[in-house]
């Protein structure tokens, strides 16, 4: 089947395009660099012609509260309209586990708005909520750094490899629309402060990790289960220690 991947040149999108192709599907990487712009609508009709499913893994170029809200709302409206015109039968969007638990976070508020547009559209859809990617562990540590120390709350944390996310998204895209959500997470659950203490040691990073129950995660204070899925989530198979060995130069 033909699957158009919006954001298909990014981290998850590029992996998804590869995996779909390996399973015999026609996967189209759609992004501004390939002539498809969901904000302006440029190239959408051409890219979606003959597609059975569309997967949206695109991301806003700016995480500023107003800009990110405008991106996800405008992009999603344009995409749903183009899909309806092209006869697409399945809209898949990737979101984040815990969005509804942190509505004060501007990025999460925008993702919630995106999901609401999809849910109310009447279009067959599936939402894949993922925990944080291993690939973003360094940026999470950097965002938690103040005065040279990484301040992290002792809450549950269950990150996942990008390859496992792409696997789950691809399986969802070629399946029957859920008209609901599925959650995906890594195979191991950690205390977040301990994960980063071990990770920084493995990276050879000298920064001290400080356990701080009030440490904020991109502006939000966390509860014990803010970042982990509910029971019944689909779990990946790649453990962080193995991923780290395989990605030693890119950690």
Nearest-CA neighbor of 25 among 1, 4, 55, 52? 1
> Looking up tokens 């976070």, which residue turns up?
105
Reply yes or no on whether the pLDDT at 239 is more than 50.
yes
Across the range 56-80, mean pLDDT stands at 95
Instruction: State the pLDDT at residue 69.
Output: 97
Instruction: State the pLDDT at residue 112.
Output: 95
Reply yes or no on whether the pLDDT at 196 is more than 50.
yes
Tens digits of per-residue pLDDT, 133-192?
999 999 999 999 999 999 999 999 999 999 999 999 999 999 999 999 999 999 999 999
Q: What is the mean pLDDT of the chain?
A: 95
**Whether pTM exceeds 0.75:** yes
Extents of the domains making up the chain: 2-246
Work out the angle at residue 57's Cα, subtended by the Cα atoms of residues 11 and 120, and round it to the nearest 5 degrees: 165
The CA–CA distances, whole Å, from 40 to 21, 48, 82, 138, 176 equal: 28, 15, 12, 33, 29
Q: What is the dihedral of CA 214, 220, 223, 225, to 10 degrees?
A: -140
Reply yes or no on whether the pLDDT at 250 is more than 70.
no
CB 234 within 8 A of CB 163: no
Assign a CATH topology to domain 2-246.
Rossmann fold (3.40.50)
Tens digits of per-residue pLDDT, 108-118?
999 999 999 99
Q: Is 238 exposed, middle or buried (0-12, 13-18, 19+ CB in 10 A)?
A: middle
Instruction: State the pLDDT at residue 251.
Output: 41
> Looking up tokens 């009030």, which residue turns up?
214
Tens digits of per-residue pLDDT, 1-39?
999 999 999 999 999 999 999 999 999 999 999 999 999
Percent of the chain residues past pLDDT 70, beyond the cut: 99
Instruction: State the pLDDT at residue 249.
Output: 53
């Amino acid at each position: 089947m033909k699957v158009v991947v919006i954001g298909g040149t990014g981290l998850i999108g590029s992996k998804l395009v590869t995996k779909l192709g390996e399973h015999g599907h026609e996967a189209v990487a759609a992004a501004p660099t390939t002539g498809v712009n969901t904000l302006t609508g440029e190239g959408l009709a051409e890219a979606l012609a003959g597609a059975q499913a569309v997967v949206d893994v695109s991301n806003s170029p700016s995480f500023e509260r107003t800009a990110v809200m405008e991106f996800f709302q405008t992009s999603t409206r344009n995409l749903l309209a183009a899909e309806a015109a092209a006869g697409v039968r399945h809209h898949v969007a990737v979101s984040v586990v815990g969005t509804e638990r942190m509505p004060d976070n501007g990025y999460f508020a925008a993702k919630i708005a995106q999901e609401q547009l999809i849910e109310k559209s009447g279009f067959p859809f599936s939402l894949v909520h993922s925990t944080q990617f291993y690939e973003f562990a360094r940026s999470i540590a950097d965002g938690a750094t103040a005065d040279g120390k990484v301040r992290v709350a002792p809450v549950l944390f269950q990150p996942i490899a990008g390859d496992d996310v792409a696997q789950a998204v691809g399986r969802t895209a070629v399946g029957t629309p859920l008209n609901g959500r599925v959650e995906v997470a890594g195979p191991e659950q950690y205390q977040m402060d301990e994960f980063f203490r071990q990770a920084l040691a493995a990276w050879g990073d000298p920064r001290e990790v400080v356990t701080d129950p009030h440490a904020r995660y991109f502006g939000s204070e966390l509860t014990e289960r803010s970042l982990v899925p509910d029971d019944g989530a689909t779990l990946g198979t790649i453990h962080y220690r193995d991923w780290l060995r395989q990605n030693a130069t890119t950690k």
